[in-house]
Amino acid sequence: MNQQNGVCHGVLGGALCLLIAAPAYAAPTLDVHAGTLGGGLGLTFGVARSLDVRAGFNAANAERTVTSGDIRYNGQLKFQTVGALADWYPFYGAFRLSAGLFYNDNKVNVTAIPNAGSTYTINGNTYSAAQVGSLAGTVRFNQSSPYVGLGFGNPMRGGPWTVMLDLGALYQGSPKVDLSATGALANPQLAADISSARQTAQSDAAKYRWWPVVQLSLGYRF
């Protein structure tokens, strides 16, 4: 019992134990999927006529330029999530309601881009690139992120091949923003402006508390 409790500790352990404990009434389905959380693999087990459980992972990298306050940033988005979900089919058909929990390692690394002439405008004050030095930061989210959604496609019914669609939202909580500049150590005014810029970025990032999930999957039942 102690060994089982140790294995089941945490989100990933809980997902593993959920799948191990679930009595399968049909062969499992392996799927490949892609969507707003990235691409990855999933595994689904049927535990009752109207209930399936599944686990999967997603990963993706992307880059984009964003503006927060007076500063432009080059952002590197690194998506990595692992989730365990329960799918309920209220009408015993293809329509399902889903809920679960994700381990969320999504993050954004940002590097500030100087304005033309190699200057930064921070909190209304202009600094040369040499004064600021390296200006960079990170945006992180809650590692335990609940998910709710709905979907279409039942991998436990019909033929071995199934196309599935998920529509939902991942609650990431209020993002945590860190921002620092090497030049702020020797410049109190710059340090105060960096702190103000961090608060502005924190406010801008708050709109990503909920992350929309759209995912298309192709599954095969063994």
Specify the amino acid at residue 15. A
Looking at residue 141, the DSSP 8-state letter turns out to be -
* pLDDT at position 196: 95
| Residue 4 pLDDT > 80 | no
Query: Which domains, from first to last, does the chain contain?
Result: 25-221 (2.40.160.170)
> Which of 5, 13, 14, 37 lies closest to 215, judged by CA?
37
- The β-bridge relationship of strands 95-104 and 210-221 is unpaired
Q: Which residue has the higher pLDDT, 20 or 200?
A: 200
Q: Please check whether residue 217 is in contact with residue 56, taking contact to mean a CB–CB distance below 8 angstroms.
A: no
How far is the C-alpha of 88 from the C-alpha of 162, rounded, in Å? 17
- Structure tokens given for 211: 């992350």
Q: What percent of the chain has pLDDT over 90?
A: 76
Report the distance separating Cα 163 and Cα 158, nearest Å.
Answer: 11
Question: Each residue of 109-167: pLDDT tens digit?
Answer: 999 999 877 899 999 999 999 999 999 999 999 999 999 999 999 999 889 999 999 99
| Closest-CA residue to 53 (of 83, 33, 12) | 83
pLDDT tens string 62-85? 999 988 888 889 999 999 999 999
Taking only the tens place, the pLDDT of each residue in 169-182 is 999 999 999 999 99
SS3 22: coil
Token representation of residue 28: 């499992």
Determine the Cα–Cα distance for residues 131 and 119; give it in Å rounded to an integer. 9
Q: What is the rounded distance in angstroms from the CA atom of residue 85 to the CA atom of residue 53?
A: 6
Locate 170 and state its tokens. 């991942």
Report yes or no on whether pTM surpasses 0.75.
yes
- For residues 52-57, give the mean pLDDT: 96
Is beta strand 71-88 parallel, antiparallel or unpaired with respect to 51-68? antiparallel
Question: What pLDDT shows up at residue 83?
Answer: 97
Counting residues of the chain whose pLDDT is more than 70, the rounded percentage is: 88
Read off the pLDDT of each residue in 96-118 and give the average, rounded to a whole number: 93
Name the phi and psi angles at 204, rounded to 5: -65, -35
Structure tokens belonging to residue 212: 């929309």
Q: How far apart are CA 124 and CA 121, in angstroms?
A: 6
Q: Per 3-state DSSP, what percentage of the chain is helix, strand, and coil (rounded to 5)?
A: 20, 55, 25
